[in-house]
Chain A
């Protein structure tokens, strides 16, 4: 079997007495959309934080594209091709939508120790900016402050910034949470488009979306992998049904 794009080995992380990751191992193959599900507090976001580098694990190893990244700083991981969107949107509120995307593009054009000309005088950057704005459907709002966007639009921008980094692996943390039905459909379409272009590790609560989008699903419960497999395997897995999806004959 080919080397997976992302391999996590025996990852442990605890916050005092709370164990967020318990000897967790996981593999994400290149090109798949891998969904991570689990009840609240299962450690999904903590796991993403450790993969992206926001948090350091207590022990265990993380390999990305064959290289160990367990102790690399955030920005180095980004350059290897890891990008993420945050659950709590973290766009730059006092910069315009275009400037937000410009920064994301700039991050992958080599260094930014350029002091004289405006960023937008660079034709390559301009072209990419246009493309990014179009992809997330925010062309009309390009000059508005990101802080003035609606919740759904911020999420779109958030994903757009992650995409502008042209990642090999995209980590999406609940991209659809808190969105209206229209926004969910848009995001759904966007992720479907990505499906052929990059590997996606997706944390989401919307089960319909997950069953429609994911190739493989991993279920986390109390920081442990309770099950991992294809959509059908997970749907029929008794442990998962009981712990997460809820057995139909379970007394209420």
Chain B
């Protein structure tokens, strides 16, 4: 019972800190913290979505940045056409650009999900090392596709004229944008927490343990894993859309396999299969990057050993250390 309480306390404190952050930042006279933490929230969303397939499904994907990047590009391209007042697609029906978040974000989620259906349908036929390589290959293909796409800036990427618009809110305001990110992250975490305990989530966890056994029980495992992969991809697409808004710039670098690696590191650092751990992992990673890069350009040199220590001594990552090692979270 104590463990359970400890987890609840940690989560409440974490949530409270995130909610009060803009206030704390202005009290401390460090308003740039709001945009740093917006970035953390966005990567937390991407990492939490990867945890769904990595921690619960046991599928190590090294191509998750593809969905992150495609979500960002959907926002970037729609905004580009809206600014140019040109058509995204002129035939057979006219699709104009848009700078509305209500159009661009659902579009980003939808396109990322579509991509995930395609990538998942092919890569989920393999497992283990092959799965890692195939997801990696798909992400790299997409990376080079966007590098070659001169119409949208190619290698140089695409600058947004401004952030997307939402009725009644000004996303250009960093504090308002922060709360939008926070709401979306909380919503995703809540949905995921329900999901992993639902019958569907049980099937996914069973597949991680022993897929053959799941089949002999009577589960057509492929379609369950595919749906899980698509949900994770769609959420990463949303994170990408938010990222495009935050930095007002998209580039192929978002899809590079090193970006997938960073998201993977966040999950492992925070604790895979813990759902909330990746949020912690994203925060730890980006804060360390922020602090260490003040002192040296080669901050990875110091970050590496820290990561090795976590992997060696904290099996469930930072989250495991925080809520107690014995806590089993799926």
Q: Measuring CB to CB, which residues of chain A are less than 8 angstroms from any residue of chain B?
A: 52-54, 73-75, 78-79, 83-84, 86, 90-95, 99, 102-104, 106-108, 112-119, 145, 161, 165
> Is B206 in contact with chain A by the CB < 8 A criterion?
yes
Q: Is the CB of A90 within 8 A of B198?
A: no
Stretch at the interface among B143-151, B170-178, B209-217, B302-310: B209-217
Q: B36 within 8 Å of A by Cβ?
A: no
Task: Tell whether B125 is near chain A: CB-to-CB under 8 Å.
Answer: no
Are B217 and A118 in touch, CB under 8 angstroms?
no
Q: Can you name 13 A-B pairs with beta carbons within 8 Å?
A: A53-B216, A73-B215, A74-B216, A75-B215, A75-B216, A90-B212, A92-B210, A92-B213, A95-B202, A107-B217, A113-B200, A113-B227, A114-B200
B 4-23 contacts with A by CB, 8 A: none
Which listed residue, A116, A119, A161, touches B217 by the CB 8 Å rule? A161
Contact flags (1/0) for B221-249 with A, using CB distance below 8 Å? Answer: 10010010000000000000000000000
Q: Which residues of B contact A (CB under 8 A)?
A: 194-195, 197-203, 205-206, 208-210, 212-221, 224, 227, 328
Q: What chain B residues lie within 8 Å of A79 (beta carbons)?
A: 218
| Residue among A79, A83, A116 with most chain B CB within 10 A | A116
Once A102-B202, A118-B197 are accepted as A-B contacts, the answer to whether A107 and B219 lie under 8 Å apart by CB is yes
The answer on a CB contact under 8 Å between B203 and A94 is: no
Instruction: Give the complex CA separation of A95 and B203 in angstroms.
Output: 11
* A93 partner, pick from B194, B198, B209, beta carbons under 8 A: B209
- Point out the residues of chain A lying under 8 angstroms from B218, CB to CB: 75, 78-79, 107-108, 165
Q: How long is the Cα–Cα vector from A112 to B328 in the complex, in angstroms?
A: 23
CA distance A117 to B227 in the complex (A): 18
Give the residue name and chain of the A residue nearest to B217 (CB).
A107
A117 and B198 form a contact (CB under 8 A): yes
Q: Residue B205 contacts which of A95, A118, A161 (CB distance < 8 angstroms)?
A: A95
Q: In the complex, what residue of chain B is closest to A96 when comparing beta carbons?
A: B328
Q: Which of A54, A95, A161, A165 contacts B212 (CB 8 A)?
A: A54
